[in-house]
């Protein structure tokens, strides 16, 4: 098979096969359905249904288990998500507590949210615990633990910024298949921080999912290492030319991860090529300070059309967004343009744009508690939901998920699309 055999439907490689479907409770002769037709139907189903249909027969199980089928399903899911209004979202409320002086314990839930209303349904839940020092646990109580999750191809990377655990709490989850893989500890950071990216190399026709991590050494140089899902360990790659902001969002667009830097010589941003595993200098938007440092409120995200979005608070409760087509970085150079300035309801400490819809609306997560939508046509901000006071979380459509409102909950929100991509090698 060629490198790009994923372009060929799975069924065409087994054309002589057909599926015999026995009507439930009927003694009539089976109806033969060509496997390529079956494949086209199953590709359009929710992942939960696809997984259930594996038990129908051996040929269906083999078809769904084929990595090429997962790649085809991802394409269908991506195309369907572009047409969806509003976009699908994943809400991750998390909490933790100290049952003992030397231990931390808590849970992270993955809840599907349709982008409207006040109900979210559980996709997966992850309980966790870890040993820690009393001082580190005190830091955790200040809310400095789980950072903004990173989503790529239906997989979600969750990692901790707890100083005493800087690289020991990191895992990749596929909420649709409920599969999870723990990422092993990386090289310790001299300052107890880490900057993490998550992307895919699809240049060979396969999906090579990679976790990229920058860390500081004692001599203040910045090392970089890569962990490919399914591999046994991290491997070193070329150093970063300068420090990148720890805990900041680092979107992957068209095979490149973008980071905000914290010092010169680069002008506020870096680009990491996931395939070549090297850093490139990358110009930042005109709003970045001339000394090469970025505003403390700055964040990066991906918007529709493979656009990189740079957002930061200008003054008070005004948020300015700059965008750039990621494809232009490989053509005649990136060109930033001022997209809009958003007047929020009130001043906020943390503003994270995380999704947009086909009507030009932009969704924000404010202070890890509230989802608002900015209507770019009418230039107004609309409240979507208060995740603490209004959201109801469900195990299923008729069974409510218990959330103790007495705990201090934080809510990360990311745009999400279902996939069959494995948390191991693909």
pLDDT by residue (tens digit) across 72-125? 999 888 888 777 778 899 999 876 544 444 444 567 789 999 999 999 999 988
Q: Print burial letters for 353-369: b (CB count within 10 Å at least 16), e (below 16).
A: bbbbbeeebbbbbbebb
Q: What is the pLDDT of residue 9?
A: 61
CA distance 397 to 377: 34
Task: Answer whether residue 391 is part of any domain.
Answer: no
Its domain, for residue 69, covers 38-81
Task: Answer whether residue 363 is part of any domain.
Answer: no
Q: Cβ atoms within 10 A of the Cβ of 182, count?
A: 13
Among 257, 278, 258, 260, which Cα is nearest to 268's?
260
Using the predicted structure, report yes or no on whether residue 135 has a pLDDT greater than 50.
no
Using the predicted structure, report yes or no on whether residue 3 has a pLDDT greater than 70.
no
Q: What is the pLDDT of residue 93?
A: 86
Which residue, chain included where needed, has tokens 């209507």? 375
Which residue, chain included where needed, has tokens 């006040």? 118
Q: What is the pLDDT of residue 27?
A: 30
Q: What is the pLDDT of residue 102?
A: 47
Sign of CA dihedral 274, 278, 281, 284: positive
Task: Answer whether residue 176 is part of any domain.
Answer: no
Task: Answer whether residue 72 is part of any domain.
Answer: yes
Ranges 120-124, 178-182, 247-251: which has the least confidence? 247-251
> Which DSSP helix (H) or strand (E) runs through 48?
helix 47-52
Query: Higher-confidence residue: 62 or 98?
Result: 62
Task: With beta carbons less than 8 A apart as the criterion, state whether 29 and 45 touch.
Answer: no
pLDDT for 307-328, tens place per residue?
Answer: 999 998 887 788 999 999 887 6
Q: What is the pLDDT of residue 34?
A: 79
Sign of CA dihedral 115, 120, 121, 122: positive
Any idea what DSSP says for residue 133?
-
Q: What is the pLDDT of residue 224?
A: 96
Using the predicted structure, report yes or no on whether residue 273 has a pLDDT greater than 80.
yes
Percent of the chain with pLDDT over 70: 78
Task: Answer whether residue 76 is part of any domain.
Answer: yes
Q: What is the pLDDT of residue 130?
A: 55
Q: Cβ atoms within 10 A of the Cβ of 53, count?
A: 16
193 φ, ψ (degrees, to nearest 5): -120, 175
Q: What is the pLDDT of residue 219?
A: 92
Ranges 167-176, 289-298, 323-332, 346-355: which has the least confidence? 289-298
Q: What is the pLDDT of residue 15?
A: 44
Task: Answer whether residue 57 is part of any domain.
Answer: yes
Position 366 confidence tier, pLDDT thresholds 50, 70, 90: very high
Ranges 237-251, 263-277, 324-338, 371-385: which has the least confidence? 324-338
Task: With beta carbons less than 8 A apart as the criterion, state whether 342 and 353 touch.
Answer: no
Q: What is the pLDDT of residue 137?
A: 41
Position 405 confidence tier, pLDDT thresholds 50, 70, 90: low
Task: Answer whether residue 51 is part of any domain.
Answer: yes
Percent of the chain with pLDDT over 90: 40
User: pTM value?
Assistant: 0.84
Task: Answer whether residue 383 is part of any domain.
Answer: no
CA distance 156 to 286: 32
Ranges 227-241, 305-319, 367-381: which has the least confidence? 305-319
Q: What is the pLDDT of residue 191?
A: 83
Query: Looking at the 3D structure of the chain, how many domains does it have?
Result: 1
Q: Which residues pair with 364 in a beta bridge?
A: 353, 372
Query: Higher-confidence residue: 38 or 213?
Result: 213
Q: What is the mean pLDDT of the chain?
A: 80
């Amino acid at each position: 098979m060629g490198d790009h055999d994923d372009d060929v439907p799975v069924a065409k490689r087994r054309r002589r096969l057909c599926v015999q479907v026995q009507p439930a409770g009927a003694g009539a002769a089976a109806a033969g359905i060509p496997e390529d037709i079956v494949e086209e139907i199953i590709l359009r189903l929710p992942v939960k249904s696809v997984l259930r249909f594996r038990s129908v027969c051996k040929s269906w199980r083999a078809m769904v288990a084929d990595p090429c089928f997962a790649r085809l399903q991802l394409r269908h899911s991506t195309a369907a998500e572009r047409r969806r209004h509003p976009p699908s979202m994943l809400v991750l409320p998390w909490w933790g507590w100290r049952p003992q002086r030397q231990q931390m314990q808590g849970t992270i839930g993955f809840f599907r949210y349709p982008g409207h209303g006040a109900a979210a349904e559980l996709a997966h839940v992850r309980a966790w615990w870890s040993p820690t020092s009393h001082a580190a646990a005190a830091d955790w109580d200040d809310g400095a633990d789980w950072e903004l999750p990173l989503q790529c191809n239906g997989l979600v990377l969750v990692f901790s910024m707890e100083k005493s655990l800087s690289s020991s709490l990191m895992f990749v989850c596929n909420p649709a298949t409920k599969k999870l893989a723990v990422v092993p500890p990386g090289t310790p950071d001299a300052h107890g921080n880490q900057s993490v990216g998550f992307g895919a190399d699809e240049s060979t026709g396969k999906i090579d999912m990679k976790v990229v991590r920058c860390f500081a050494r004692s001599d203040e140089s910045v090392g970089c290492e890569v962990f490919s899902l399914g591999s046994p360990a991290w491997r070193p790659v070329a150093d970063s030319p300068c420090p990148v902001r720890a805990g900041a969002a680092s979107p992957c667009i068209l095979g490149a991860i973008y980071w905000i830097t914290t010092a010169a010589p680069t002008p506020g941003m870096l680009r990491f090529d996931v395939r070549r595993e090297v850093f490139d200098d990358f110009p930042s938007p005109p709003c970045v300070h001339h000394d090469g440092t970025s505003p403390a409120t700055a964040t990066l995200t991906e918007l529709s059309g493979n656009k990189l979005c740079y957002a930061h608070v200008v003054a008070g409760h005004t948020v300015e967004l700059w965008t750039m087509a990621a494809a232009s970085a490989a053509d005649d150079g990136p060109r930033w343009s001022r997209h809009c300035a958003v007047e929020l309801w009130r001043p906020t400490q943390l503003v994270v744009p995380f999704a947009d819809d086909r009507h030009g609306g932009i969704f924000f997560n404010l202070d890890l508690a509230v989802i608002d939508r900015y209507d770019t046509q009418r230039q107004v901000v609309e409240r979507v939901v208060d995740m603490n006071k209004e959201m109801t979380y469900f195990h299923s459509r008729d069974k409510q998920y218990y959330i103790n409102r007495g705990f201090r909950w934080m809510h990360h929100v990311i745009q999400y699309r279902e996939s069959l991509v494995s948390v191991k090698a693909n």
